[in-house]
Amino acid sequence: VAQRLEKFKTTIFTQMSILGNKHGAINLGQGFPNFDGPDFIKEAAIQAIKDGKNQYARAFGAPELNSAVASRFHQDTGLVIDPEREVTVTCGCTEAIAAAMLGLINPGDEVILFAPFYDSYEATLSMAGAKVKCITLRPPGFDIPLDELKAAVTSETRAILMNTPHNPTGKMFTREELEAIASLCIENDVIVFSDEVYDKLDFEMDHICIASLPGMYERTVTMNSLGKTFSLTGWKIGWAVAPPHLTWGIRQAHSYLTFATSTPMQAAAVAALEAPESYYTELKRDYSEKKEILVKGLKEVGFEVFPSSGTYFVVVDHTPFGFGDDVAFCEYLIKEVGVVAIPTSVFYLNPEEGKNLVRFAFCKDEETLRSAIERMKLKL
């Protein structure tokens, strides 16, 4: 394997799902719903295939989808953007992240990350040859240590890569934190890559898109996808919204990475983005119930559960159970208890910082959540 990928192993989500399957464990690890997305979107995909929408899409997105993304962005942020020049459709948000790094970061450029971070960030930054600086968010609140951030952002900094609502912690960046990031970026001419795939799962406060703050749109790449909002993680339809000068770099990378994204799924994505407001209200209500079941259960099992404001994840401290670290705990949990969780140490530059924390997902039907809790109550 090339040096730039040497330190990365099989992703922790894949590792844990494989181990879980081998032991017949209930999977509260990898964040995918164990229920399907809405029928009207699935029907739209089938219809698109039958209608012969099966050849290459336009490289940077089917025109109807670029427009649907622009209009959703307008609804969410109030900003009017040009679908032809400011939207790029990608193979999931993961490709949007990779295309943004490879298309806009030069070798040696300094990029700031918040730990714990989603695993693909560090790997794609490594592919781009970036120099990574990391700010750690600490429990219980995982608030941004603003003094540390201020000290870290300098004229050497090219970009900040952030994620709100935040995977794995469920933390949502507050207006005050976003304003602090914005003013540092403007002062030091830094761009922001913002992964907002959990924006519709904002339970305790309203999600704020950093691109909507004054002076930020022109220096922000906002990335999102269909997967979480519509329970279609396997469809891999994502997008990046950015001003033309940043979109150009993203499109150049995208053109030579995947060229274009699945044509019939893009047609179905248009139908998804036209969902009525009630779809989002119901989604949030369903997830609030699931979250309550999981959080209450984990507390009864004996974990310290940290507050999660958004996403479908919660992070707990496993140390009451006396295991050495998060990986040892998760292995025991799979093999002896029959439940999969995700150890968080791989989400830090310094794995020590994550060794007390594990993540559980609640994007599962209620029976699955209750059975997992039962198993933990009995065997932990």
Residues 269-288, mask of contacts with ligand GLN (x by CB under 6 A): --------------------
Q: How far is the CB of 137 from ligand GLN (least distance, A)?
A: 16
Q: Which is nearer to ligand GLN, 31 or 61 (CB)?
A: 31
The residue among 99, 70, 50 whose CA lies nearest residue 260 is 99
Q: How far is the CB of 120 from ligand GLN (least distance, A)?
A: 7
DSSP strand pairing (157-163 vs 191-195): parallel
Q: Are 58 and 254 in contact (CB under 8 A)?
A: no
Per CB under 6 A, does 343 bind ligand GLN? Answer: no
> What is the rounded (10 degree) CA torsion for 100, 259, 64, 40?
-90
Q: How far is the CB of 226 from ligand GLN (least distance, A)?
A: 13
Q: Give residue for tokens 């995208």.
A: 254
Rounded CA separation 218/231 (Å) = 31
Rounded CA separation 104/113 (Å) = 16
Q: Which is nearer to ligand GLN, 110 or 196 (CB)?
A: 196
Q: Which is nearer to ligand GLN, 182 or 363 (CB)?
A: 363
Q: How far is the CB of 30 from ligand GLN (least distance, A)?
A: 5
Q: Which is nearer to ligand GLN, 31 or 354 (CB)?
A: 31
DSSP strand pairing (191-195 vs 220-225): parallel
Q: Which of 8, 13, 248, 332 binds ligand GLN (CB under 6 A)?
A: 13
Q: Which is nearer to ligand GLN, 88 or 163 (CB)?
A: 163
Could you tell me where the beta strands, DSSP code E, fall in 188-265?
191-195, 220-225, 237-241
Q: Give residue for tokens 């509260």.
A: 28
Q: Which of 8, 11, 127, 145 binds ligand GLN (CB under 6 A)?
A: 11
Per CB under 6 A, does 90 bind ligand GLN? Answer: no
Q: Which is nearer to ligand GLN, 217 or 362 (CB)?
A: 362
Per CB under 6 A, does 229 bind ligand GLN? Answer: no
Beta bridge partners, 221, equal 193
Q: Are 246 and 87 in contact (CB under 8 A)?
A: no
Q: Which of 15, 20, 25, 31 binds ligand GLN (CB under 6 A)?
A: 31
Q: Which is nearer to ligand GLN, 29 or 297 (CB)?
A: 29
Per CB under 6 A, does 225 bind ligand GLN? Answer: no
DSSP state of 94: H
Q: Are 316 and 358 in contact (CB under 8 A)?
A: yes
Q: Which is nearer to ligand GLN, 157 or 308 (CB)?
A: 308
Q: Are 256 and 172 in contact (CB under 8 A)?
A: no
Per CB under 6 A, does 8 bind ligand GLN? Answer: no
Name the residue whose CB lies closest to ligand GLN: 31
Could you tell me where the beta strands, DSSP code E, fall in the chain?
26-27, 87-91, 110-115, 131-136, 157-163, 191-195, 220-225, 237-241, 304-305, 313-317, 339-340, 342-343, 357-361
Per CB under 6 A, does 224 bind ligand GLN? Answer: no
Q: Which is nearer to ligand GLN, 31 or 310 (CB)?
A: 31
Show contacts with ligand GLN in window 161-180 (CB under 6 A). 167
Residues that bind ligand GLN (CB under 6 A): 11, 13, 30-31, 167
